[in-house]
Amino acid sequence: MTTPGEQASDAAPPLVRPYVITKGRGLPDDEQLSLVTLVTAAGDEQQRPTRRLSPEEQGLLELCAAGYLTVAEIAGHTRLPLGVVRILLSGLSEGGYLLVRPPVARASLVDTRILQEVLNGLEAKFG
């Protein structure tokens, strides 16, 4: 227990940090960076702009250099909040540092009539 003049040493971290890390930018659209969007570092370092990256952005870029990772995996590796990771990845992608590959669209459902015809054909042939 602390006295009125003391501060607790294990105080919660301030809530300003994610705002500072993201430089106040808002979340990108879900279509742009969903949890399963694949991200990797851009291959050609010569054509990238030469702006200075924050330590968090540099860490994300180094992590993505190993190959494709999903946004959720990147957030797990960095232990940063998912929203912060999405904002930083969006900025790096717009800056030409990252390649973003949207998830594969869901396959449409197959017509049950076709499946029934296939089943009938297999039964007629084999059994």
Q: What is the DSSP string of 12-48?
A: PPPTTHHHHHTTTPPPPPTTTS-TT-EEEE-S-STTS
Residue 117 pLDDT more than 90? yes
Confidence of residue 44 (pLDDT cuts 50, 70, 90): low
> Average pLDDT, whole number, for the chain?
80
Measured in degrees and rounded to the nearest 5, phi and psi for residue 23 equal 60, 30
Residue 73: per-residue pLDDT:
93
Q: 0.75 exceeded by the pTM? A: no
Residue 92 pLDDT more than 80? yes
Confidence of residue 34 (pLDDT cuts 50, 70, 90): confident
- The residue ranges of every structural domain in the chain are 17-126
Instruction: Give the pLDDT confidence of 100-112 residue by residue, as tens digits.
Output: 998 877 778 888 8
Q: Which CATH number fits domain 17-126: 3.40.50.720, 1.10.10.10, 3.40.50.450, 3.10.20.30?
A: 1.10.10.10
Confidence of residue 69 (pLDDT cuts 50, 70, 90): very high
Residue 81 pLDDT more than 90? no
In this predicted model, which residue has the larger pLDDT, 50 or 10?
A: 50
- Cα dihedral sign for 81, 30, 77, 87? negative
